[in-house]
Amino acid sequence: MDRVGTAIASSADLTTIVQSVTDAATELTGAQFGAFFYNVLDSNGESYLLYALSGAPRSAFEKFGMPRNTAVFDHTFRGLGVVRSDDIKKDPRYGKLAPHHGMPKGHLPVTSYLAVPVMSRTGDVLGGLFFGHEQAGVFSASDENTVVEIAARAATAIDNTRLLDTAQRFASIVESSDDAIVSKDLTGTIRSWNRAAERIFGYTAEEIVGRPITTLIPEHLQHEEPEIIRRISAGERVDHYETIRQKKDGTLFHVLVTVSPIRDRTGKVIGASKIARDIDAAKKAQETQTLLLREMNHRVKNLFAVASGVVALSAHSAESAFDLAHSIQARLAALARAHDLTVGPEGAAEAKKVHLKVLLKTILSPYDTKDGRISMNGPDVECGSSASTSLALLVHEFATNAVKYGALSMPTGQVDIRWTLSEKLDLIWREVGGPPVAKLVDHEGFGTTLTGLTVRSMDGTIERAWNADGLKIGVSVPLAHLAS
């Protein structure tokens, strides 16, 4: 028995454990052969897998296929108790199953028979230990007790091995996950930390285990944790909620979090498991998509306003329907050229540079009636592709608003653009002769938001002054960004 205990304790391999148990029990009982059959049901619910064999070659069973659920075997595999017989052939349960009605020809000779179920701590039947001898009356009550004790030790070893396998699989899943998987106790102290958590948050396990989970929560969201602990302590699961967390370097990012209670053997909640998925890139992509949709909607509306303005501008100087049509066509073509200046044929920004004066003239040409309504003056400077796109967007927005609401909506209105260069580009857009100016203080339209974002993307500034004689806009952009 000491040898059985040592063999079980020295191995975590299920095959080794079961073979050691079968060999030892066969030797201790004086059986000619012994076997361990694992409790595995086939689709008919009646087959058992031969797991280990002692005292006979495995080939002795191979030609008979899988053992079947006979009346004799059934008692053991249902966990109903021990079967010990001096002559199994005299047992009333023997020989009831066709076609053999007993042992098939060539089967190992069995007269004395001993079978003990191997039961897990949960009461499930893991399998059975079976022993046979060709002589009658070989197995005693002492042998039965010995095998019962060995079966109990085998069941414990099998349970432990299963638990170890499950734990190892779980650990492998946790470590290979792309999501941060973190456990904490009910005080909010971090107890475990996987590799994905290290990659996402920036802390190593050595740095963060033992510290409060609030280390990962930004100051303005610290109130979330007490509510999570309250729900977990009540046994609730916190499913898929979006929030913001903080990395080691202070960066805030969007996460999708699920929190589940961890229970001990009695069912008491002792902590929580958190799964956090970094959705920052997806969230920013969604925000960008929303911004692009708003911009597209804004631009589509502006197209109608610009077309209307082009018609109005053209009508002032047209002497005939033909002149009007020609003027409108020319200005719409100029708008198309302005679009092509910064946007490639597939809709992507082209990597080319544009002179500022050329850029301004191209963008403003649809609104220029050649009567001095639009004037510009300033030193020439080359703009990089990124800055060209941003400046084109700005000037187009200014011009569109001038056509819809400002100086270019009136026959006598004028626009003057001037700029200077130092360490930065300082550009002034001034409108005169338009309708009375009123600053909208209760609402900021998308156009204003768009121009603000565009200027900030160049590390610049924008200021507006609603003067009595017209709107004045000042834009400043560092030369380093102008060349980018």
Count of domains observed in the chain: 3
Same-domain pairing of 269 and 295: no
Same-domain pairing of 164 and 195: no
Strand order in the sheet with 112-119: 49-54, 33-38, 125-133, 112-119, 83-85
Length reported for the chain: 484
Q: Is the pLDDT of residue 138 over 60?
A: yes
Same-domain pairing of 50 and 190: no
Domain hosting 27: range is 2-173
Same-domain pairing of 169 and 182: no
Q: Which residue carries 């003990």 as its tokens?
A: 116
Cis peptide leading into 99, omega within 30 of 0?
yes
Look at residues 146, 173, 200 and tell me which one is the last residue of a structural domain: 173
What CATH number is given to the structural domain containing 297? 3.30.565.10
Same-domain pairing of 67 and 204: no
Same-domain pairing of 290 and 233: no
| pLDDT recorded at residue 94 | 76
Same-domain pairing of 81 and 212: no
**Dist. CA 389–CA 398, nearest whole Å:** 14
Same-domain pairing of 211 and 292: no
CA–CA distances in Å: residue 91 to residues 112, 288, 355: 11, 80, 106
Same-domain pairing of 447 and 327: yes
Look at residues 173, 208, 225 and tell me which one is the last residue of a structural domain: 173
**Dist. CA 183–CA 190, nearest whole Å:** 6
156-192 pLDDT, tens per residue? 888 887 777 777 777 777 777 889 999 999 999 999 9
- Provide the CA 310 distance to its chain's centre, in angstroms: 50
Same-domain pairing of 367 and 439: yes
What CATH number is given to the structural domain containing 83? 3.30.450.40
pTM: 0.45
Q: Is the pLDDT of residue 219 over 90?
A: yes
Both ends of the chain: CA-CA distance in Å?
Answer: 82
pLDDT-based confidence at residue 351 (cuts at 50, 70, 90)? very low
What CATH number is given to the structural domain containing 240? 3.30.450.20
Look at residues 278, 296, 313 and tell me which one is the last residue of a structural domain: 278
115-132 pLDDT, tens per residue? 999 998 888 888 899 999
Same-domain pairing of 213 and 109: no
**Dist. CA 144–CA 259, nearest whole Å:** 50
